A and B are shown apart, each in its own frame.
Chain A
Amino acid sequence: MKSSTSKRRPAKTKRADFYRLRLYIAGQTPNSIAAIANLKKICEDKLHGKYRIEVVDLLKKPQLAKGDQIIAIPTLVRRLPPPVKKIIGNLSKTESVIVGLDLKPLR
């Protein structure tokens, strides 16, 4: 499943403000479902219109686990803005997610 707010970047958004996030899951486990829901909520609250989430199911694409050095599931990778950041867990601890992704408050 792939959910993204928009294919094109909104014109107003500066490149540095745009978040490209990739969430690795393995099948529809409770943790995976929770992680997707938690992530969407946090992004809507904090990054409205300035993010794109890509969900990778490793059961379907196991070869992708190597590239991002995935060990734990779920793992969220912040691909943009640099530097790449990685957080693990079902994203239920919102504060940890905000700190881990280094999310700036919405202006």
Chain B
Amino acid sequence: MPGARPKVVRSSLAKSPTGIQGLDEVTGGGLPKGRVTLVCGSAGCGKSLFAMEFLVHGAVRYGEPGVCMDFEETEAKLRANVASLGFDLRELTKRKKLLVDFVSVERNQIAETGEYNLDGLFIRLAHAVKAIKAKRVVLDSIEALFSGLVDSTILRAELRRLFHWLEEHKLTAVVTGEAGEQTLTRHGLEEYIADCVISLDHRVTDQISTRRLRVVKYRGTSHGTDEYPFLIDREGISVVPITSLELAHKASTDRVSTGISVLDEMMEGKGFFRGSSVLVSGSSGTGKSSLAASFTRAACARGEVCLYFAFEESPSQILRNMRSVSINLEPWVKKRLLHFHAMRPTSIGLEAHLAVVHKLIEKFRPKVVVIDPITNLVSASGTHSIKSMLMRLVDFLKVEQISSMFTNLTFSGDPQERTAAAVSSLMDTWIVLRDSKPNGRPRRELYVLKSRGMAHSREPRELIVSERGIELGKVLRDHSLATPVAGPGGVAVPE
């Protein structure tokens, strides 16, 4: 995501990339090289997976073999974690990319009979590091020592010595710690970590869980202090950077067809600006999806990759419905230009949706993105959250020069209408679809309520969606509505 790299990060500090999607952008290149990073959070927050990803990606992508000293997990669990990243622990071990040492600390089983130190641990670690010429180390979770060893004075002194040892040997290390009640970690490990502390969080609000990551401390690097939503899926962790804190994206003068020639006509004969955001709002059955589909088809016909997020219908249902209005999208799906992603809006939290959207955009690198409809996302959250989510998404799309279309279902007088007003300010173009019944004959109408940066038509036209496809009729002189008052802010709602 080169365009999304926050521009504020200027760093002379050497970094070790984690390979965790999004995190390296947030931190301006990864974790501090040759230093110890603390990753903390409560049980199940993804600490171990974070650590393992850092190690596996380091070994596989960045040519830095890694040692994992595992104080808690069993080999089966660890192997499952590694397998979820698409790698085989045994294979990596065999190739000397990875070495795992399972350290078992018998809880309060060890009698202490005088002074001691943790040289045993040091020797094991040094031996493992030497065996595979490791550059990275994970200690997960070293806090287990506190339950095994009684003398915490010795233990604390030894931990300090251990972290020094790691730095002395120029090893980039990740140490995990369980979240404490008042402190970041139960045993205050953060006291020993000077350079980088990352906190992971797993919250459940309204029965929808959201994972968040926060860079608590990163010495020598300006980092975002925001909480970044992240996702754990089959491919590991992905962090969603809050992109472009400043409005600095380039505005393209390039134009893309709407897929409907008369609509192109209405927009200076050229269609939308590339990389702009388009809102299509209208009540049920006014043809929003059809409009989105023809926009999609036109993009595919130009050879552009499209990503279609369906929050209401399954892909096969969309394909069938669109075929009935002569928009055949199937060939583009087969040619792998059009990718559908369907999900229930309430299945995961809003942040997670955003994470999924980001991830798929990264994966497919589309030129056109359709979200159909955003209305359904509102049910997953309040209006405020959807606005901030959309703002981030729209920013991200603009930076990447991706043209986007959002459909929005409206009911007059419904709070949803307000949603349209709230999100419309983020949109460059707002197309309104309406039902009307002048002289008793029902018809659909379309007009361009706003379109930034162009002299667009403001006159409504009849929209005809039939088995012949989508057509726009002549300018309606007899339309039932007064010509909408469309201020540049686009907040005016007709009627």
Contacts and interface: CB of A to CB of B under 8 A. Distances in A.
A62 interface: yes
B101 A31 contact: no
B272 to A, nearest CB: 63
Interface stretch (A1-9, A12-20, A46-54, A72-80): A72-80
Interface string B96-136: 00000101111001111111111111011011000000000
B480 to A, nearest CB: 81
Interface string B235-272: 00000000000000000000000000000000000000
Interface string A61-104: 01101100111111110000000001111111100110110000
A26 B112 CA distance: 17
B92 interface: no
A9 to B, nearest CB: 26
Contacts of A43: none
Given A66-B101, A69-B104, A58 B119 contact: yes
Given A65-B127, A88-B110, A71 B115 contact: no
Identify which of A59, A71, A99 gathers the most chain B CB atoms within 10 Å of its CB: A71
Contact of A69 (B103, B119, B126, B149): B103
Contact of B116 (A58, A59, A88, A96): A88
Contact of A26 (B111, B113, B115, B120): B120
Contact of A88 (B101, B111, B126): B111
Interface residues of A, number: 32
B111 A87 contact: yes
B246 to A, nearest CB: 50
Nearest to A38: B114
B113 A90 contact: yes
Contacts of B114: 31, 34-35, 38, 89-93, 96
B318 interface: no
Contact of B120 (A34, A63, A65, A87): A65
A72 B120 contact: yes
B393 interface: no
B465 interface: no
B342 interface: no
A70 B124 contact: yes
A99 B118 contact: no
A91 B113 contact: yes
Contacts of B118: 71-73
Identify which of B101, B109, B114 gathers the most chain A CB atoms within 10 Å of its CB: B114
Interface in B357-402: none
A24 B120 contact: yes
Nearest to B112: A89
A71 B117 CA distance: 8
A92 B116 CA distance: 11
Contacts of B116: 31, 72-75, 88-90
10 contacts: A62-B123, A65-B120, A70-B120, A70-B123, A75-B120, A88-B113, A88-B116, A90-B115, A91-B113, A93-B113
